[in-house]
């Protein structure tokens, strides 16, 4: 979009990632077209057909060169759907591939798909970070739906000649972040004692919102991004204890950490049915971004500490 007047459509233009991407492109003097749903409509976004239906995107795709698909049914801790996998597939697979087919028919040159590291799995094995070329091993409904969408997008691209780019972020944090990261921020801000002082041997990859957006912008028109899959992170992996301490430093309020043995925390979590939560806090999930950096000549422009500072400055929803 920065080179040659590319016109870009961003789905989920008022979402956590989409709104930041819209702001970045507008700041560069560009005019992306963002889509949003019902109550989220504003002067900079247009109404989009429901992703979970066979909606007609033809009017929105007219004249579009690149689609950045950020809209999705997102991973939630407490899913109330009677069949979670069917619900995720309806939006993340069927809806995404319907958009992709119509984009190809409309002559869209490239579709950038925001996937998830969860297609690779929930935890690394034998100390090897997840890489783009690894076999996929999703474990939950959200990860399965994203993996199936990736496969379908590649098939459509091979059939039609439309380029694809797949980006797999780990946990994304930034201004206005929600979910587990927001809960962690509140706990540190309130000075609550947290039992993770001894969780120093695990490693987790994160990506700040500004770093993810920078990679997406790079992938909109970078020639070497065509038909590639990219892992993304801040380039620095942290233990849970270190993350909490760095988050406290960003707040100017030291985290209060208790030194409870990780094995004891894991056992307690299993007893109360919180094994998955414990895995995210105690386990290892790292990504290898060397392929991304080498292929695109890219590196995360914002340090992890600066990303945490921006998240704190942006407040907690």
Six token digits for residue 97: 């591939």
Q: What's the CA gap between 61 and 29, in Å, rounded?
A: 21
Assess whether 173 carries a catalytic annotation: no
Residues 176 and 238: beta-carbon distance below 8 Å: no
Question: Phi and psi for 164 in degrees, rounded to 5?
Answer: -125, 155
Six token digits for residue 255: 């985290």
Active-site choice (142, 164, 173, 196): 142
Which value, to the nearest 10 degrees, does the dihedral of the CA atoms of residues 91, 97, 101, 106 take? 50
Residues in contact with 99: Cβ distance below 8 Å, sequence separation at least 6, in sequence order: 11, 51, 57, 67, 69, 111
Residues 74 and 142: beta-carbon distance below 8 Å: yes
The CA-CA-CA angle for residues 110, 112, 114, to 5°, reads 165
Catalytic positions are 142
């Amino acid at each position: 979009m920065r080179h040659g007047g590319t016109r870009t459509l961003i789905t989920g233009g008022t979402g956590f990632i989409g709104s930041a991407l819209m702001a970045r492109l507008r700041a560069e003097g560009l005019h992306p077209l963002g889509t949003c749903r019902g109550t989220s409509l504003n002067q900079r976004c247009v109404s989009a057909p429901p992703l979970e239906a066979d909606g007609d995107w033809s009017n929105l795709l007219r004249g579009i060169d690149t689609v950045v698909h950020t809209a999705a049914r997102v991973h939630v801790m407490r899913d109330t759907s009677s069949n979670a996998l069917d619900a995720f597939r309806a939006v993340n697979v069927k809806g995404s591939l319907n958009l992709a087919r119509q984009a190809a028919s409309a002559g869209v040159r490239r579709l950038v798909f925001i996937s998830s590291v969860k297609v690779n799995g929930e935890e690394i094995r034998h100390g090897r970070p997840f890489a783009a070329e690894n076999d996929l091993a999703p474990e939950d409904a959200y990860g399965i739906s994203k993996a199936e969408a990736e496969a379908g997008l590649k098939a459509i691209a091979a059939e039609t000649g439309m380029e694809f780019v797949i980006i797999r972020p780990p946990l994304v944090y930034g201004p206005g972040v929600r979910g587990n990261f927001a809960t962690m921020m509140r706990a540190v801000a309130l000075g609550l004692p947290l039992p993770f002082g001894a969780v120093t041997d695990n490693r987790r990859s994160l990506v700040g919102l500004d770093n993810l957006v920078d990679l997406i912008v790079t992938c909109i028109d970078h020639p070497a991004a065509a038909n590639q899959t990219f892992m993304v992170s801040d380039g620095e992996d942290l233990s849970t204890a270190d993350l909490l301490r760095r988050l406290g430093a960003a707040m100017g309020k030291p985290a209060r950490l208790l030194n409870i043995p990780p094995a004891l925390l894991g056992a307690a979590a299993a007893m109360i049915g919180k094994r998955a939560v414990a895995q995210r806090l105690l386990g290892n999930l790292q990504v290898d971004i060397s392929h991304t950096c080498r292929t695109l000549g890219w590196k995360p422009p914002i340090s992890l500490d600066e990303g945490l500072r921006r998240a704190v400055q942006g407040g907690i929803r």
